[in-house]
Amino acid sequence: MLKKTSLRKITIATCALLIVGILYFFPTKNTTHYKTTYNYSSSNKKSDIFLIDENNYVALTSIATNSTDTLKKAEEIIEALIIGSKKSEYIPNGFKPIIPKNTTINNIEFKDNLLKIDFSQDFLKIAENNEEKMIEAIIYSLTTIKDIKKVMIFVDGQILNELPHSKKKLPNVLDRSFGINKVYDLKDYKNTTKTTVYYISKFNDSYYYVPITKINNDNRDKVEVIISELKSNPIYQTNLMSYLKASAELKDYEIKENSINLSFNENLFSDLKEKNIKEEVKYTISLSIKDNLDIDEVIFLVNDKEIDKCLKSC
């Protein structure tokens, strides 16, 4: 009787140890790691955002977002721009957020293409050399979201009408006409123009795009300015590049309601045999055109034949 009791206890103990071992080596899916992976998996939608690169430019990249609703997506984008936020670990290598740590959103509203954001007082703790870049990053990031065209920034209920340190005046309503990574080349302060041109930069083996707003007295049509700037590649002593050949000639262009036709000679091609356009050329031209003309589609033609196009999501 004693032997049977001991044997049963040994059997129960052995089974219990076996079950514990199975649970240890083969955990259930309800773990913290699984939830984190699920929430930010590669299957989630990527959203454009402008963050600070290693050269201190405000640059275009993307992050995973969960929301499709305009207001919720805007909150996700803003969170990713805040240093030390929950989104920080999902920022691509080579980039960093810029809004000061511990900044929170007091309130956010969206109506008629205008997004109003009220930040906490920590927003004003930005370093002086980054205060304008922070405003640029906010404007450009939020206006990548469909339907958001303009932004108003508040701090503890008061509209931000000047930069915290330099006291440079800000418009009450901000949009992309504010410019980004500004470069000034002015002969006088009359008849000034702004043209934003996208260039290519590189981190490790990854290429990304950096917009530069050129403020000068160039009164040419913006399309002509963009193509001329990308052909001449004039930004020296930087890591910014353009792959558009100097021999690529814009023969004609036609602006329609929501699109533009750009007609080039054959030197637009990266390979005359394959007759294809280098992706970096297509994107630098398209991003630049769309930023300045607010159109949805850029169509590339060579000798009056359509070769490629870049839609709104391009």
Residue recorded with tokens 């083969």: 26
Amino acid 256: pLDDT: 92
Amino acid 99: pLDDT: 98
Q: Does 52 fall in a domain? A: yes
Q: Over range 256-280, report the average pLDDT.
A: 90
* Nearest of 122, 45, 124, 44 to residue 85 by alpha carbon: 122
Q: Does 250 fall in a domain? A: yes
276 and 237 in a common domain: yes
Cα 298 from Cα 312, distance rounded (Å):
9
Contacts 24+ apart (CB under 8 A), 60-66: 60/140, 60/198, 60/208, 60/209, 60/210, 60/211, 60/287, 61/92, 61/95, 61/208, 62/92, 63/87, 63/90, 63/91, 63/92, 64/40, 64/90, 66/39
168 and 190 in a common domain: no
Q: Which position has the higher pLDDT, 23 or 156?
A: 156
> Structure pTM?
0.83
Q: Does 14 fall in a domain? A: no
Residue 17 has pLDDT above 90, yes or no: no
Residue 33 has pLDDT above 60, yes or no: no
Lookup: tokens for 213: 């707003």
214 and 161 in a common domain: no
265 and 194 in a common domain: yes
Q: Does 25 fall in a domain? A: no
Residue 183 has pLDDT above 70, yes or no: yes
How does DSSP classify residue 258?
A: S
Q: Does 13 fall in a domain? A: no
193 and 171 in a common domain: no
Our count of domains for the chain comes to 2
51 and 174 in a common domain: yes
135 and 232 in a common domain: no
195 and 125 in a common domain: no
Q: Over range 19-43, report the average pLDDT.
A: 35
Cα 189 from Cα 6, distance rounded (Å):
98
Amino acid 44: pLDDT: 61
Q: Over range 292-313, report the average pLDDT.
A: 90
Amino acid 235: pLDDT: 56
Least confident range of 9-18, 74-83, 95-104, 282-291 = 9-18
* Nearest of 231, 272, 270, 271 to residue 250 by alpha carbon: 231
Residue 38 has pLDDT above 90, yes or no: no
Cα 312 from Cα 50, distance rounded (Å):
17
Q: Does 33 fall in a domain? A: no
Residue 97 has pLDDT above 90, yes or no: yes
Domain C-terminal end among 163, 178, 193: 178
Q: Does 300 fall in a domain? A: yes
Domain C-terminal end among 158, 178, 198: 178
Confidence of residue 151 (pLDDT cuts 50, 70, 90): very high
Domain of 231 in residue numbering reads as: 183-310
Q: Does 34 fall in a domain? A: no
Lookup: tokens for 295: 């159109």
Residue 210 has pLDDT above 90, yes or no: yes
Cα 279 from Cα 297, distance rounded (Å):
16
* Nearest of 279, 227, 274 to residue 252 by alpha carbon: 227
Domain C-terminal end among 178, 208, 239: 178
246 and 168 in a common domain: no
115 and 213 in a common domain: no
101 and 121 in a common domain: yes
188 and 150 in a common domain: no
